[in-house]
Amino acid sequence: MTASQRPPTTGSTGVAPSTFVERVRSRMGTPYRAAGEWVLANPAPPALRPAELIAWSVARARGPVPLAVDVVDLYWQCVDAGTVIERSAAEKIEGALLFRFATTTRSSSPSRERWARRSVVTAEVTVTTGDGDAVTVDLASGVVRIPIAHVPATHAALVPGLEYPAEASSLMGRVDAIGRDTAGFVLRGDLPWLREGVRGALVAQAQALLITAGSSEQSRIGPTGTFDRGTAQAVNAFQHRVRSERGASVAADGSIGPATWGWLFVYAGNNPSNDRSDDRSTEQSPAATDGTEPAPPPLPPPQIPHS
């Protein structure tokens, strides 16, 4: 699991979207970087590309989550962080991201896999100001402010790690990676991150959800309460299924994070809001702490996160 796939810091980070937008505006007029090297730590970069402007601005605002400097990677980082929101809602939020993608395969989302990105013909990202405008990096004009009506966005997201108002952060998790409504889907940041080597009651619950969701792999094993290699394979297969059917909205890594928990409840036909368990008892087996596999991340706060 990469750093971008782990739950970002949430809650009182102290970094408001307005601070981020202020840093973005400070680079107005900076040329588009057509060539040459770019350094994140440079306090006054001579040229920037769209995702670089966003990563630089967040870093200068002391945001807690380092951002990708490639537009497609940045988008999938937002997907993994669970910050994707509806495009129409983003236009009125200060410091939201508007993405625009076009592919030769007619897919509305770019591939997560780098080897398949030759099909991407357009990858753009802009930052909303909250007052009807957006800031982007234009090839001809550099960092420029444009009317938001001129931004033909296909996707939208909040910046991982920033402290948005409650009315904005509550929009996260309502749409999948390609912007479709996900009725019944709730990011389960209240449940522990599970991976191979963990055992306990919640592992058995996850295994039962896999079986109910139609996992033939887990059906052969049963709800044993031990997250073994077979369960990891069952989770991986389930995640690939979700990515295929729901627009690749989870990372297929074989572990169960807030997003995978949420999709398990959806596919099992349960309402997660009525099934929140306070029993988080799990044990870490020696196999998970012997240095060959990192221990599961600590329990994330009940808002963002992703696997």
Rounded-to-integer distance, Cα 75 and Cα 154, Å? 11
Q: What is the pLDDT along the chain (307 residues), one digit of tens a residue?
A: 333 333 333 444 579 999 999 999 999 999 999 988 889 999 999 999 999 999 999 999 999 999 999 999 999 898 888 888 888 889 899 999 999 998 887 666 788 888 888 888 999 999 999 999 999 999 999 999 999 989 988 889 999 999 999 999 888 866 665 555 566 677 777 888 899 999 999 999 999 999 999 999 999 999 999 999 999 999 999 988 887 776 545 677 899 987 788 889 888 885 444 344 444 444 444 333 322 233 344 433 333 334 4
3-169: CATH number: 3.90.1720.10
Domain chopping of the chain, boundaries: 3-169, 198-288
pTM for this entry: 0.60
Burial 172-195 (b: 16+ CB within 10 A, else e): bbbbbbbbeebeebbbbbbbbbbb
